[in-house]
Amino acid sequence: MSQDKNIGFVGLGLMGLPMAANLVAQGWSVTGWNRSAGPLDELIALGGTAAGSVAELRDLPIIVFMLPDLPHVEEAAAELLERWRAAPPAAGTVIVVMSSVSPQRVQEFGQTVSKASEGNAAVLDAPVSGGRVGAQAGTLAIMAGGRAADFATAAPAFDAMGTTVRHLGPLGSGSLAKACNQLIVGTTTAALAEAAELAERSGLDAAALFEVLAGGLANSRILELAGPRLLAKDYTSSGPAKFMHKDLSFVLEAATSAGAVVPMASAGVELYAELKRQGLGDQDLTVVRQAISHLSDQAAATAEGNISA
């Protein structure tokens, strides 16, 4: 197999494993690393190979990291960077951060990688949208930031994992785009949850309401995918809701840097923080309806208490 189709993949979770599987299916030689052995066994069964450590990936031209947040990436990459400090990689090596991370901090990580590799390695931030369904189908939207030459190196791998792939600018641009994506996804899901809860508590058929919404201007991909789960109160996780709090925090961080006002993101951060306080963070994003229901119950109890007093 040609060298340019060799790739390392760090993080074989709900998203990472199907993404790596699509690479294997598209003819890539995938060497994976994961903290737990089970996903590695699955990757091997699909035709991939396993690395004993992230540092063993040091000679590969592309290394993908798909971990919850940048601190996890930095921790996993620490030994790799130490190896590079002792023996720099071949020029043109690309680290691809496909997690949802801070636009500012990924730029700092890029500087760390460049210094450790004596300028031979660079970072692309290339977060994804489309959820586990998109990861499995290979239809992810991939939004990338970094140097054009590094994007060109990684683009064939992106094409094996997604159908909408865009280079949006310098390092950090992909993460900013993902933050904007999450602003829309997080607040729209919350708005649908509020609508469902308000309708039911008012005696309206929430399913009928959503059917009408789907026929008008309020229709959206989020309504199509999240609507049935919100109605059924099905919160089986396809991605932990707690990550939305993290992602919306990145929106606030970016807005402060840009001098922008983001009132919807500010409200969303507080709502998803409350969701975490209620112990719901490991369930699906649609559990935001349960968080809103709990708040509604508390408000009703307070109002009743005031009337009784």
Q: Which residues are catalytic?
A: 178
A 10 A CB-CB count for 297 gives 11
- Give dist(CA 168, CA 171) in Å, integer: 9
Q: Contact 63/57 with Cβ under 8 angstroms?
A: yes
Which residues lie closer than 8 Å to 185 by C-beta, 6 or more apart?
129, 222, 244, 285
Q: Contact 250/188 with Cβ under 8 angstroms?
A: no
- Angstrom CA distances, 44 to 33, 106, 181, 231, 303, stand at 11, 30, 33, 39, 58
Q: Bin 141: left if φ > 0, else alpha if -120 < ψ < 50, else beta.
A: beta
Give DSSP secondary structure letters for 80-132: HHHHHHHS---TTEEEEE-S---HHHHHHHHHHHHHHTTTSEEEEE--EESHH
